[in-house]
Amino acid sequence: MTGKRTWTRRAAFAFLAVLPLGAVLLFFQPACRRQPPALKHVILFIGDGMSAGSEIAASRYLYGRDDGLAWHKLPARAYVATWDVNVYNAAARRARRPPYSRSSFTPLLGYDVREDGAKPVAGPGATHPFPPGPATDSASAATALATGFKTDSGNIAWLPGDPEDGRLTTIAEELRAKTGAAIGVVSTVPFDHATPASFVSHNPGRSAYYTGLKGYKGLGIADEIILRTKPDVVIGGGSPLLDNPGFDAKKGYISESLYRALQDSREYLLVERKPGQDGGRALADGAAEAAREGRKLFGLFGGPGGNFEVPRVEDSPGHPRVVPGSEENPSLAEATGAALDYLARDPDGFFLMVEQGDIDWANHDNDFRSMVGCVADLDGAVRAALAFVDRPGDSVDWTNTVLIVTADHATGGLFLEPGRPLGPGDLPRQDARVEEAGAAGPRTGSDRGVAANGAAIKKPDYASPNVYPDEEISYGTAGHTNELVDLAAIGAATRNLLGLRGTWYPGPILDNTQVNVALREALGLSPLGRHARRTD
């Protein structure tokens, strides 16, 4: 744009400072500088439901400081806005503004920096929890990261409004089609759950886990992943061993016919959870065998409910201790290592998404101990990936690799009481809430089944499932919140990420769709086009 329509960033921020709340603000993506792509390997970690408060709490338990997690010292840092179309439209109705349109919208209606803050509400200086309210769900949040498109809650790489032809190509799919790169997803929750599914499948309904589930006649998410998209690596939960051994078609994450086909597959080498077997060792051996045989790798694990058993932390002041939930499931570090060992053999590069999904489940339950164990699991996985890239003697290094750690959204409204910080190995007293006979049970929202489009539960109706009588910590909701989340990165795409900070919102803030834009730039993929259009 030229002439009167040219804005400098400083002028835009000055304008923002005096702009009325209802005024239209549209910010532009910077023009792409087309250069030969240096980036070949992408490692994207997502802590599902991980707020900044979750990070600080786990860091204090593990290391006795607020910034001790593996990603806290990475050189590129930003905050990320996570709103989706449902959140935007709710705000637009309140402001009497038009609903979301990709061609023309106001980012501050999705996240209002002036009302909700220019950084996450957590840690020293925080005076109150983030207010609960409408928030994204994991499907739409992961779709934004995977495709660069905002969409409705519940959509898996699908356009808002659910048009019949609404399938959105993901960045992993496009990279494989253009360069031949290998692609993979790893998760501690079912492999066809919202976050991993949004990178390797497409569906207007996130709960359509498999064809035949509750009579569903369309192409199920698991069916598409295994039979059509065929990622080079899939590792996750959803095994029917403990979750659905009778293959009841009213529940579960994989049909019996698809499961048997996977067991008999010549294309995939299947590594399953087995009683008494070390899951991490089995997965590492399976990755090596799959590579030798020229087959893809599928690790099918999990426990009751489909997800991995959560790592346990012990209350031992001064001596933090994390105990695996089950040796039969790999740790996230072991799963990440197996995936990287396999994918790094591809000379064309790779795209790997790794999710610690149990953080979200713990925060939905306001379960502080489980949350800390899950963040510790993610911390170990990120450390394993950093060590993998640092390993000498191979073609994977920081000149051609990026590692990103972020969250899809925050869950639970965790508040850490500033006057009562917990030290290393120290956990708050935590009691399950006991309701009086005949009283309504605690209201809990859950991303496991998506209620009210991800809307959080507001006080005074809300009662936490767990009670913290010493008041070192508290929760504001069992649902999601629209607060900013953290992002940290190192490697070949950091310049692209940092260059987009402050272009939609003042300060060091990215939109979740801009993470996709930055990766596309660094990978040399075609641009998605202008994400917003300013109209006078």
| pLDDT for 7 | 33
DSSP string, 194-235: HHHHHHH--BS-TT--STTGGG--S--HHHHIIIII--SEEE
**Cα–Cα dist 189/448, whole Å:** 10
Residue 290 token pair:
């799959």
**Cα–Cα dist 532/467, whole Å:** 44
Burial 51-80 (b: 16+ CB within 10 A, else e): bbbbbbbbbbbbebebebbbbbebebbbbb
List, for residues 288-338, the tens digit of each pLDDT value.
Answer: 999 999 999 999 999 999 999 999 999 999 999 999 999 999 999 999 999
Instruction: Decide if 160 contacts 91 (C-beta within 8 A).
Output: no
Cα 203 to chain centroid, rounded: 18
| pLDDT for 9 | 37
**Cα–Cα dist 377/280, whole Å:** 14
What are the backbone angles phi and psi of residue 116, rounded to the nearest 5°?
Answer: -110, -5
Predicted confidence band at 36 (pLDDT cuts at 50, 70, 90)? low
For residue 271, give the 3-state DSSP assignment. Answer: strand
| pLDDT for 462 | 62
Pairing of strands 485-491, 76-81: antiparallel
Residue 93's CB: how many other CB atoms inside 10 A?
Answer: 11
| pLDDT for 24 | 35
List, for residues 241-293, the tens digit of each pLDDT value.
Answer: 999 999 999 999 999 999 999 999 999 999 999 999 999 999 999 999 999 99
DSSP string, 379-427: HHHHHHHHHHHH-SSSS-STTTEEEEEE-S-EES--EE-TTS---TT--
Query: By C-alpha distance, which of 219, 393, 188, 422 is closest to 305?
Result: 188
What is the CATH topology of the domain spanning 36-425+448-482+493-523?
Alkaline Phosphatase, subunit A (3.40.720)
For the stretch 159-166, contacts whose Cβ atoms lie closer than 8 Å and that sit 24 or more positions apart, written own/partner, are: 160/85, 160/100, 162/204, 166/204
Instruction: Decide if 66 contacts 60 (C-beta within 8 A).
Output: yes
Query: In the chain, where are the structural domains located?
Result: 36-425+448-482+493-523
Query: By C-alpha distance, which of 354, 515, 452 is closest to 136?
Result: 452
* Residue 453, pLDDT above cutoff 80: no
**Cα–Cα dist 456/450, whole Å:** 11
Pairing of strands 509-511, 76-81: parallel
| pLDDT for 201 | 98
Count of all residues that appear for the chain in the document: 536
* Residue 455, pLDDT above cutoff 70: no
**Cα–Cα dist 170/176, whole Å:** 10
Predicted confidence band at 132 (pLDDT cuts at 50, 70, 90)? low
DSSP string, 497-519: HHHHTTSSSSSSEEEHHHHHHHH
Instruction: Decide if 87 contacts 134 (C-beta within 8 A).
Output: yes
**Cα–Cα dist 266/239, whole Å:** 19
The chain-wide mean pLDDT, for the chain, equals 88
Residue 238 token pair:
């959803």
**Cα–Cα dist 310/188, whole Å:** 9
Instruction: Decide if 244 contacts 251 (C-beta within 8 A).
Output: yes
Q: How far is CA 76 from CA 30, 63, 203, 410, 496, in A?
A: 18, 22, 33, 20, 10
| pLDDT for 10 | 38
Residue 187 token pair:
């998760």
